[in-house]
Amino acid sequence: MGTEQLSALAAVPAGLIGLVAGSFAGVVVDRVPAGGSVIRPPSHCDACGTPLRASDNIPVVSYLALRGRCHHCRARIPLRVLMTELVTAGVFVLLAFRLPTLWALPAYCVLAAGLVALSAIDLDVRRLPTPVVYWTGAIGAAGLVLASAGSGRWTALASAAIGGAACFAVFFAIFFAVPKGMGFGDVRLATLCGVFLGWLGLRLVPLGILLGFVVAGLPAIALVVLGRATRKSQLPFGPFLAAGTLVGVCFGPAILHALPLF
C-alpha cells in the first residue's frame, strides 16, 4: 500500500477520534479556567444542570439532532461546542495527510487538541492555563518518543529539544524586554510549539513562529486601521501562535520549498 492510501486509511479513524478529542477539548475550555475538574461531574447542561443522556453526548450528531438546544430546558448549547469538535476533527484529518510519517500522528493530534483548547480559552478569558500546556506537552512528548522509535528518526528528538529551547529563549527575552506585550503563558506555549515544530525539522521552528506573528499582525493592523483598537490594545497571542504552528506543521515544508526563507 502506498503512502497516499495509508494516509487516507488513517484519516478516517483520525477524524472520528478528533470529534471525541474536540468534545473533550470543549470540556477543558468550559471547566479549567474556573478551576473545575475535567472528569467530574459528568457532562451536564450549563443552564439547568440536567446530566446529559448518552445520546446527548455524541459529538456533532447530538448537537444537530437537538438543534443546538438542551433536551430538558431547551437552553441554547454554545456554538463553540460544535466548532471545537469540527475544528479538532478537521485538523486531525489534515495531519493524517500532511505528516511525513503516520508514527507521528498521535503526538501531533495531542498537540492539535491542546492548541484548540488553549486558543479557545485564550480568546475567552485571555489566559493560557499552565496545566493544559503541561499535559499537552507531557503526553505529546511521549508521542514524539513513540514517533521516533517507530520511524527511526531519533535525531528528530534532538531538534525538538533545540526548537523548544530556542523558542523559550526568544520568547523569554521578549517577555523580559516588553512585559506588557505578552504573558508568561505565551512563553510556555511558544516553547511547546517549538518542540513540535523542531521534531519535524529545525527550519520549521522560525517559520511556524513567523507565521504566528503574520497571522496575528493582519487582524491587529486591520483593527487599528478601522479604529477599533489602538496600538496599545492587547490581542490574545495564543490563538495566532497555535495557528502559525499548525500551518507550519502541515504546510511548512511546502511553504519553504516555494519560498526558501530559512
Q: Which is nearer to Zn ion, 72 or 127 (CB)?
A: 72
User: Can you tell me the distance from the alpha carbon of 140 to that of 164, in angstroms, rounded to the nearest whole number?
Assistant: 13
Output the CA–CA distances (angstroms, integers) from residue 156 to 113, 183, 192, 238, in the order listed: 22, 29, 15, 25
**Shortest reach from residue 32's CB to Zn ion, in Å:** 22
Q: Which is nearer to Zn ion, 49 or 181 (CB)?
A: 49
Residue with cell 470540556: 27
Q: Which is nearer to Zn ion, 53 or 228 (CB)?
A: 53
Q: Which is nearer to Zn ion, 77 or 182 (CB)?
A: 77
Q: Which of 202, 213, 262 is nearest to 241 (CA)?
A: 213
Q: What is the DSSP letter of 206?
A: H
**Shortest reach from residue 25's CB to Zn ion, in Å:** 21
User: Can you tell me the distance from the alpha carbon of 145 to that of 218, in angstroms, rounded to the nearest whole number?
Assistant: 36
Burial class (CB in 10 A: 0-12, 13-18, 19+), 178: exposed
Instruction: Please answer whether residues 199 and 243 qualify as being in contact, where contact means their C-beta atoms are separated by less than 8 angstroms.
Output: no
User: Can you tell me the distance from the alpha carbon of 92 to that of 108, in angstroms, rounded to the nearest whole number?
Assistant: 8
**Shortest reach from residue 53's CB to Zn ion, in Å:** 12
Q: Which is nearer to Zn ion, 75 or 83 (CB)?
A: 75
By CB under 5 A, name the binding residues for Zn ion: 45, 47-48, 70, 72-73, 75
**Shortest reach from residue 51's CB to Zn ion, in Å:** 10
**Shortest reach from residue 165's CB to Zn ion, in Å:** 48
User: Can you tell me the distance from the alpha carbon of 19 to that of 23, in angstroms, rounded to the nearest whole number?
Assistant: 6
